Amino acid sequence: MSRGVKVAIGLLGVLLVAYGAQLLSYKDSKGSPDKRLSQNGAVLPILNENGPLLITTAADAILLKTYQMEILRSNLSDDGDTASTLTDVDVEKQAEEINMDVRKGKVCYAPGNNFKLFNFELENCGGTCFSSWITFVHFKWHNKEFVKSLETMSVDTIYQLPDGKFLLLESGFEHPIQAYYAVRRAAKVISFLKDSILVHPISYHGTNGFTFRHDDDNQPRINTYIKYSPQEQTLTYQYISNNSYFGNAKNIDSLRRGTFSYQNGHFEFQSEKISVREF
């Protein structure tokens, strides 16, 4: 666990004391469970001028801001004691001076308000820009609130699966070489056991995590996606792999389209079709 995560979780204890009842309530400002669902049951974030954002209580807004400041503070200096004495204004000023920003902070609620997560992108820019993501999951067990960090990218959608597990669809950007940006997507299945979060593998091409980079820099452009169908209980995807951006390989796009089926508590790989276009 990074020092930034430890700092933020330590600070959470103080906030739970100050705002206890509000933080433990996964309801909207009117006291009703949040019902911002699409027709297929996925939780949809509200869009504002800064991107996806779902905040249903004043406590969410306070905690979102607090997390953002502590993530910046913990990444400004190796001297944690010095960084901890900075005011929020000083933190924001120093972060701006070194082109560091916590972007796209958002709060997402799971279907049925089973849990909520605070999801942040930390961007560092020098000659190139690099992003990392920090996610805190708030959930209950025996009417007690727990907070755990979870490795994700930007969480776009949360689905509840038939057996009670949850599917997270994620996206982000990579800057693997100068003047080249690539979209990365991922799918993750999680569940809760007492005070712990379990991550369940999705096996894909010899790995236990389903993620890919979309290398689409040729015309015509092709969209990338990961989609879940609750009716069919299938996960479908599309992306392009092209190794020419990273060496002397030929400029060949391999368009991959495939399907997983949710069976016996896990996503089972079904098929993948590959078509090639050479430039």
Map 74-87 to HEC letters.
HHHCCCHHHHHCCC
- DSSP secondary structure letter of residue 34: P
32-36, 91-95, 209-213, 223-227: lowest mean pLDDT where?
32-36
Which pTM was predicted?
A: 0.77
Please, which pLDDT band fits residue 13 given cuts at 50, 70 and 90? very low
The distance of Cα 75 from the centroid of its chain, to the nearest Å, equals 19
The predicted-structure confidence for 175-222, as pLDDT tens digits, reads as follows: 656 656 788 999 999 999 999 999 999 999 989 899 998 887 666 788
Quickly count: other Cβ atoms within 10 Å of residue 169's Cβ.
21
Cis peptide before 52 (omega within 30 of 0): no
pLDDT at 117: 92
128-132, 222-226, 268-272: lowest mean pLDDT where?
128-132
Cα 40 to Cα 196: distance, rounded to the nearest angstrom: 28
Q: What is the mean pLDDT of the chain?
A: 77
Q: What residues contact 214, with CB distance under 8 A and at least 6 apart?
A: 182, 183, 184, 185, 224, 239, 240
Cα 59 to Cα 70: distance, rounded to the nearest angstrom: 16
